[in-house]
Amino acid sequence: MREFMARLRLVPAQAGLGYVVLVATAAAYLVVYTSSLGRFPTSFDYLSILNTMLPLVFVAIGQSLVVLTGGIDLSVGGIVSLCVTVTATTVTGTGLAPFGWLLVVLALGAACGAVNGMIVAVGRIAPILATLATLSIFTGLALWVLPVPGGSIPPVVRNVLSNPNVPTGLIWLGVAVGGWLVLRRTRFGMRVYAIGSDETSARAVGVPAGRVKLGVYALSGLCSALAAIFYVSTTTAGDANAGAPFILTSIASVVVGGVAFTGGRGSALGAVAGAVALTLVIDVLFFAGIDPLYQSLFQGLFLVVAVLLGTAATFLTRRRRATP
């Protein structure tokens, strides 16, 4: 337990990497934007970035919870795709009816995540194998629900979630951040860190590791469903392949945010910062005139540099602590 508490004290330092990367990326965005257009970004530009980044923010939060337990969730892309197709084809009507369907979509995402949790916690199958298998299943179901891109979402839902004229996204971003801050201070949140730090010791002191993992994967599925809803709200249509990019970008957000893949260290706030930074990178490359064919190359280089910086920062922090 002492080792767990000692590692927990490093959480702010780990998350700090994401904040540094975010500030650097934001500065690069301002420089490239003003150089390209000869003016500063308008409120429309900031609103567009806000609405675009929200789906990745939610997926990154769910992914960080799983990684904090020492696991990984590759099925986030499949859950997002499935929930996107269900949202685009079933969320209809006026008044409160569409919001009732949104609750169904959220329940679907949580159920998909719970299936992952059951396989990992009860079946004792490695998370990477379990979620890789369910990724294929969920993606197949998404293609069955919506074979070709299409569907729609009622304007009333869009006005509440991602209003193109009012920054409602700031409210939902605040809800996401506030939800994490509350969760981390609960008994469940402390158990997540304990399992990731040392699962054997956590079990020895009575932590129900199986139930915690089940809850973590269910929350990851819920976050993926939220991402799907905001995705459809922003794009106003559905696509069975919509979730594919979120697999790597959510993992990249976690890495950039300083969450340790060994578990037990890091913060979802760092992952949120990483998600925002990755969203800005796309805009930086666009305004810098980089050919879209090479965007993946520069995104990969960005991730490698961020990881190297994080490794160097961790090494220096530990060396400083070890120095008498």
* Average pLDDT taken over every residue of the chain: 87
Who contacts 116 (Cβ-Cβ below 8 Å, separation ≥6)? 73, 75, 127, 130, 131, 134, 217, 220, 221
pLDDT at 128 over 50: yes
Q: Give the tens place of pLDDT for each residue, 33-48.
A: 999 888 888 888 889 8
Q: Which helix (H) or strand (E) holds 196?
A: helix 187-197
What does pTM read for this prediction? 0.90
Ranked by mean pLDDT, which of 151-155, 158-162, 172-176, 302-306 comes out on top?
A: 172-176
Label each residue of 32-47 as H, E or C: HHHHHHCCCCCHHHHH
Who contacts 253 (Cβ-Cβ below 8 Å, separation ≥6)? 56, 59, 60, 63, 64, 271, 272, 274, 275, 278
- Per the CB < 8 A criterion, the answer to whether 198 and 101 are in contact is no
Coil, helix or strand at residue 150: strand
Of the pLDDT bands very low, low, confident and very high (cuts 50, 70, 90), residue 313 is: low
Give the residues across from 150 on adjacent strands: 238
Q: Is 260 exposed, middle or buried (0-12, 13-18, 19+ CB in 10 A)?
A: buried
Q: Give the tens place of pLDDT for each residue, 179-205.
A: 999 999 999 999 999 998 888 888 888
Record the tokens describing residue 276, joined without a space. Answer: 């925002």
Q: Is 292 exposed, middle or buried (0-12, 13-18, 19+ CB in 10 A)?
A: exposed
From 117, 52, 28, 65, select the one nearest 271 (Cα to Cα). Answer: 65
The mean pLDDT value for 233-256 works out to: 91
Rounded to whole angstroms, how far apart are CA atoms 232 and 55? 10
pLDDT number for residue 7: 47
pLDDT number for residue 118: 95
pLDDT above 70 covers a percentage of the chain that reads: 91
Q: How many residues does the chain have?
A: 324
The domain 18-28+43-317 having CATH identifier 1.10.3470: the answer here is yes
Rounded to whole angstroms, how far apart are CA atoms 315 and 317? 5
Distances (CA, A) of 174 to 57, 69, 171, 179, 244: 11, 24, 5, 8, 26
pLDDT number for residue 324: 59
From 182, 57, 59, select the one nearest 113 (Cα to Cα). Answer: 59
Domain parsing of the chain, residue ranges: 18-28+43-317
Q: Give the tens place of pLDDT for each residue, 134-146.
A: 999 999 999 999 9
* Tokens 């169904």 -> residue: 104
